[in-house]
Amino acid sequence: MGRSKAALAIRFGYHGCANRPFFHIQLQKKRQDRAGPVIEQLGVYDPMPNINNERLVSINFDRVRHWLGQNKTVEITPAVQQLFGLVGFFPVHPRSYIQAWRNRREQETAKQEAESGEVKG
């Protein structure tokens, strides 16, 4: 498998604290540390559900299109690809389908265990 020739990367930058993650979607040089200098902040993502059980996302799609349309190749990390798929900018990432399948399977097994516990009790 060959190396990617991308000089830039769109990825998450962690800006939360313990037990309270918060991410900036940012454009950086690929080989820099996550906490290194940022070329441009393209959005924010709050993975913790609010009181309405919503995870908040704000993305500047015009700037994302601008950077993807440049002659330079821009690599998008799989986590950001998955988020872009969930918000409708990209096709849904296969990892999203796998995670949904796992969640449904866990719910079904928990439901079956609860039903079997009620019958015995």
pLDDT digits (tens, 9 = 90+) for 94-106: 888 888 899 999 9
- pLDDT at residue 87 greater than cutoff 90: no
pLDDT score recorded for residue 120: 55
Task: Report residue 3's pLDDT band, with 50, 70 and 90 as the boundaries.
Answer: low
3-state helix, strand, coil in the chain (%, to 5): 35, 25, 40
Same domain assignment for residues 25 and 82: yes
Q: Give dist(CA 97, CA 109) in Å, integer.
A: 19
Same domain assignment for residues 120 and 66: no
Instruction: Determine the structural domain holding residue 99 and report its residue range.
Output: 92-121
Same domain assignment for residues 26 and 76: yes
Same domain assignment for residues 23 and 63: yes
- pLDDT at residue 1 greater than cutoff 60: no
The CATH number assigned to the domain holding 76 equals 3.30.1320.10
Same domain assignment for residues 18 and 29: yes
Same domain assignment for residues 59 and 22: yes
Q: In this structure, is residue 72 part of a structural domain?
A: yes
- What Å distances lie between residue 54 and 50, 64, 95, 107, 120, CA to CA? 5, 23, 20, 20, 37
Task: Report residue 41's pLDDT band, with 50, 70 and 90 as the boundaries.
Answer: very high
pLDDT score recorded for residue 71: 64
What is the average per-residue pLDDT within 21-34? Answer: 90
Same domain assignment for residues 18 and 72: yes
Same domain assignment for residues 24 and 44: yes
Q: In this structure, is residue 3 part of a structural domain?
A: no
* Global confidence as pTM: 0.75
